[in-house]
């Protein structure tokens, strides 16, 4: 077992465990924190896979922005706990399905994907954000613009949705 592989297993274990933690924690704040941890681990994987730009985006967007938003909402609503959460009896179809799905896809991977090794090192050229940016602003210009527009819409939407209407006004 090489060090590389060892690191992978450690990290993979962490990722799975944090995911389980998120699933099982009753408190939504804990769940959120587990998830942040999970995202961080995934970011490391990205690094290992030679995508430093994505890894950093992962940390900033998910860890920084999205999860903060989650925590903020949780705090705002004071909805950390919900009574009478999951009972195992009601869970079993979901469990069975999930496990089936897992099994199926793993079988797929084993059967269809060749055992190609992936080096953890990255060449500078591959990883440099610059060619990525060039590609983003040339080939993918239109999707990029649409996405930015989407963000704008989402922003406006979020504001409109959550805006408190004054009582009596506009009715």
Contacts of other proteins in 83-102 (CB under 8 A): 85-86, 90-91, 93-95, 97-102
Binding mask 5-44 for other proteins (x = CB under 8 A): x--x---x--xx--xx-xx----x--xx--x--xx--x--
Q: Report if residue 136 touches other proteins, rule: CB under 8 A.
A: yes
Distance CA 106, CA 99 (A): 10
- For residue 160, the minimal CB distance to other proteins (Å) is 8
All residues at 6 or more sequence positions from 25 whose CB lies less than 8 Å from its CB, including other chains: 31, 34
Contacts of other proteins in 105-124 (CB under 8 A): 105-110, 113-120
- For residue 166, the minimal CB distance to other proteins (Å) is 14
Nearer to other proteins, 98 or 170 (CB): 98
In sequence order, what DSSP letters do the residues of 18-83 get, joined into one string? Answer: HHHHHHH-SSHHHHHHHHHHHHHHHHHHHHHTT-HHHHHHIIIIIIIIIHHHHHHHHHHHT----S
Q: Report if residue 61 touches other proteins, rule: CB under 8 A.
A: yes
Among 89, 130, 142, 162, binds other proteins (CB under 8 A): 162
Q: Report if residue 150 touches other proteins, rule: CB under 8 A.
A: yes
Between CA 94 and CA 105, with CA 100 as vertex, the angle to 5 degrees is 130
């Amino acid at each position: 077992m090489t060090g590389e592989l060892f690191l992978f297993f450690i990290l993979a274990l962490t990722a799975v465990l944090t995911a389980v933690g998120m699933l099982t924690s009753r408190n939504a704040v804990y769940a959120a924190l587990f998830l942040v941890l999970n995202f961080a681990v995934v970011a490391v994987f990205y690094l290992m896979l030679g995508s430093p730009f994505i890894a950093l985006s992962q940390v900033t967007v998910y860890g920084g922005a999205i999860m903060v938003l989650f925590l903020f909402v949780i705090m705002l609503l004071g909805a950390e706990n919900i009574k009478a959460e999951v009972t195992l009896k009601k869970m079993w179809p979901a469990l069975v399905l999930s496990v089936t799905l897992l099994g199926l896809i793993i079988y797929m991977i084993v059967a269809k994907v060749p055992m190609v090794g992936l080096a953890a090192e990255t060449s500078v050229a591959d990883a440099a954000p610059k060619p990525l940016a060039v590609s983003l602003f040339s080939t993918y210009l239109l999707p990029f613009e649409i996405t930015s527009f989407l963000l704008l819409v989402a922003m406006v939407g979020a504001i409109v949705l959550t805006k408190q209407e004054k009582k009596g006004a506009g009715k």
